[in-house]
Amino acid sequence: MSGPFKRRASLKKPVALGLVKSAATRRRSSVTALAPIPQVQQDVPWDLLERCLLPLVFCHAVAAITSTTLGALRIWQVTTFTLFIWFTIVMLGVVLFYHNLKIQFAGKAVLITGCDSRVGCALARVLDDMGLTVFAGFQNAVDNPVADELKEESSGRLHVLQLDVSSETQILAASLHVSANLPDGSDGLWAVIHAASWIALGEIEWIPLEVIRKAADINFIGATRLIQAMLPLVRKAKGRVVLVTSGLSRVVSPVRGIHCALQAAMEAEATCLRQELKPRGVDVIVVAPGEYSSGSSWLTEEGIKEQAREMWEQLMEEQRLEYGEEHFEAAVRSLEKYTKSKDADLSPALRALSDSVIRAFPLQRYTPISRQEKLQAFIANYFPRSFYDIIYS
């Protein structure tokens, strides 16, 4: 292999994709060596805490006002703390009751893009097991062992679609197929879940323009066009749009600057789209997994090597001399740790994604991330940038 990896042994083979195995139905052993991923149906702790935070603040304010008013009118001498405990118990009970309400699965249909990835394919199985009609979009569905196995081991409700979101033709064909194959009694498409992703690697000066265009087509432009094509069906069902972004939308990361920018653009678009579609009864939800909770399924060692080789070959001689081969190799190899997580626990990301579809009152944003990632995002959002740079740069 030419380029910056010539002094070292080649990287290992890319990890195999994994799928969720359901205990509800018998399935044959995998012919494509797809590892099972455990399912644990429980709430995402961070998101549940955030949903309860504002009601707690509201309870304290109401308790203080009520206690002061009753005391001033000499009606009842009761402490603010006592009222706060009472109001908190009632409010949390109401919040948790509405938080756990679920939709009726029968007659609901969902479209998922990016089922080539571990998360997308696993989500298709989870929702199919729940009883929803699933349209699973693959960037390459023909002669794809993952698509073949998904179709064979799922129920008859699951449809495998050829859907490259960067192709206008395939988006329109998918919309026609979905419209013609909705379940009986369905008003429209309940959810569109955009999980397709492609990451442009490298420092911004290194990345060729065609690579930036491809990343924008899949991560942003294609997602926008898909939403435009599917919204008439989603509006009929008063359903929801779910966009899978990344924790990198809030926490910048060198060597992935283009990806960070596109993820931030998706979240900004989701905020605007949420305001536009709220009067029409359509929810817009963002699911932003962390590096490890998503299984980092968009990174493979072969993909890293291929992009690195192309970048190095297209750099000008002045750029090669300025950065040096050692710096280039170190920057690219810093991403290897994200390709070695084939046993990563996908259950937090799957819980968030399934909750965004089946909850009657979903959150606007789910963040299935680790404690370390949550702390880093909190410092990035609420502390001075200089403080963040001291700790993480």
- CA–CA dist 45, 50 (Å, integer): 9
59 labelled catalytic: no
The one catalytic residue in 59, 115, 121, 260 is 260
Q: How open is the CA angle 35-39-44, to the nearest 5 degrees?
A: 130
- CA–CA dist 174, 162 (Å, integer): 8
Identity of the residue numbered 329? E
Q: How many angstroms from the chain centroid is the CA of residue 329?
A: 29
Q: Identify whether the C-beta of residue 235 lies closer than 8 Å to the C-beta of residue 188.
A: yes
What are the CA-CA distances from residue 28 to residues 16, 43, 140, 206 (Å)?
Answer: 18, 30, 24, 46
How deeply is 164 buried, as exposed, middle or buried, from its count of CB atoms within 10 A (0-12, 13-18, 19+)? buried
Q: Roughly how many angstroms between the first and final C-alpha of the chain, as a whole number?
A: 32
- CA–CA dist 128, 107 (Å, integer): 12
- CA–CA dist 314, 273 (Å, integer): 38
Identity of the residue numbered 327? H
Strand-pair category, 133-138 with 240-244: unpaired
- CA–CA dist 229, 274 (Å, integer): 17
- CA–CA dist 298, 48 (Å, integer): 27
Active site amino acids: 260
